[in-house]
Amino acid sequence: MNAIIEVKNLTKKFRDIKAVDNLSFTVEAGQVYGFLGQNGAGKSTTIRMLLTLITPTSGEIELFGMNLSKHRKEILRQVGAIIERPDFYKYLTALENLRLFASMSGVKVSEKKLMEQLDMVGLAERANSKVKTYSQGMKQRLGIATALVNDPGLIILDEPTNGLDPQGIADVRNLILLLSKEKKKTLLISSHLLSEMELIADSMIIIDKGKKLVEGRVNELFDPSETIVELKTTDDAATFEKLQQSSLKIFMHGKRNDCLLLKLHRNEVPSVMKELVQMDVNVVSLHSKHSLEDYFLSLTTGSTHVEAATN
């Protein structure tokens, strides 16, 4: 596989602060690449460097096998992007905005194609409404349409589901999967919605304080079948004692706030549930936490945010 993005020893300093610190990663062609990190981790700075909005202090960026600073125009012709929240000319209509940015991309796009793009993101009926009448979710959709209007090989989306309702999030997820699986596009996506990334990303990088914590294929970084289950009962202290003395002790993972945590495989959940009932434990709720989220937290905070099980 050939690399679409190759970042080597990238560093960006703002005066004395290192926003990105010696960061290296590679995105292969056709991948959906998750770019994860807490607020202020350096995600947006890195993405802005990939799009030439920020000049790196040191390091190299190659896109499509070409040096970004030397072949800027040639590279950007093949890139579509949303950086943080998408903003548009509010006094222009969605169609006018899309036409304008398509022209700036250097591609000649027919009116039919523009309307198809708007239709794809569910905005065809509001094509001639001024953007100032749009909700944040609609602007986000228009941002995606703008990013795709020049039919780019690489799509960079910074928090693409921000401001979207659950249906909108699902639509964006499906669109990303369509672009990746059917249209064979390469996508770099930063997001705080880790559960979303788990569903769509092939590979990912987690960064913190500008440094890489881990990079690899999602299914290799954690076992998707293993999950943390939050157990809430009418009497957690009594349940804790009962569990300590039962066969379920091996699943105990700790405590968090007002619930107990069990670590088990998904297919073990029904039998555990059955046993809890037999032990006369009054279960209020039982639900699994995404393992990726725990994994993410354990890497970026140095702990699982879980109090260790005692005894």
Partner 1 sequence: MWKLLQIELFKIFKRPRTYIAFGAIAAIVFLIQIALKYDGKSYIDLLLSNLSGSFEFSDEFKGKLLNGYLICFIILNTLLIQMPLLVALISGDAIAGEANMGTLRLSLTKPISRTEYMLVKFAASIIYTLALLLCMAALALFGSMLIFGTNDMVVMRSEGIEQIKNFDVLWRYFAAFGFAAVALTTVSALAFLLSVFAENSIGPIIATMSIVIVFTILSEMNIPIYDQTIKPYLFTSHMVAWKGFFYVKADAEGTTINGSIENFPAVMRSLGILLVYIVLFFGSAVWVFKKKDILT
| Interface ranges with partner 1 (CB under 8 A) | 48, 51-55, 72-74, 76-77, 79, 81, 83-92, 96, 100-101, 103-106, 146
Give the 3-state secondary structure of residue 163. Answer: coil
Quickly count helices (H) and strands (E) in the chain: 11, 14
State the minimum distance, in angstroms, from the CB of residue 105 to partner 1. Answer: 5
Which of 132/274 has CB closer to partner 1? 132
- Closest approach of partner 1 to the CB of residue 193, in Å: 22
Query: 151 or 215, CB closer to partner 1?
Result: 151
Q: In angstroms, what is the minimal distance from the CB of 187 to partner 1?
A: 15
Do 257 and 189 form a contact (C-beta atoms < 8 A)? no
Smallest gap from residue 236 Cβ to partner 1 (A): 47
Q: What are phi and psi of 252, to 5 degrees?
A: -70, 130
Cα 220 to the center of its chain, rounded Å: 17
Question: Least distance (Å) from partner 1 to the CB of residue 279?
Answer: 57
- Looking only at the bridges linking them, the beta strands covering 17-28 and 3-14 are antiparallel
Contacts of the segment 210-217: beta carbons below 8 A, 24+ positions apart: 210/11, 210/12, 210/18, 210/19, 210/20, 210/21, 210/23, 210/41, 210/42, 210/45, 211/21, 211/22, 211/23, 211/42, 212/23, 212/24, 212/25, 213/299, 213/300, 214/299, 215/25
Which residue's entry shows tokens 């354990």? 298
The nearest distance, CB 104 to partner 1, in angstroms, is 4
Nearer to partner 1, 108 or 112 (CB): 108
Nearer to partner 1, 40 or 106 (CB): 106
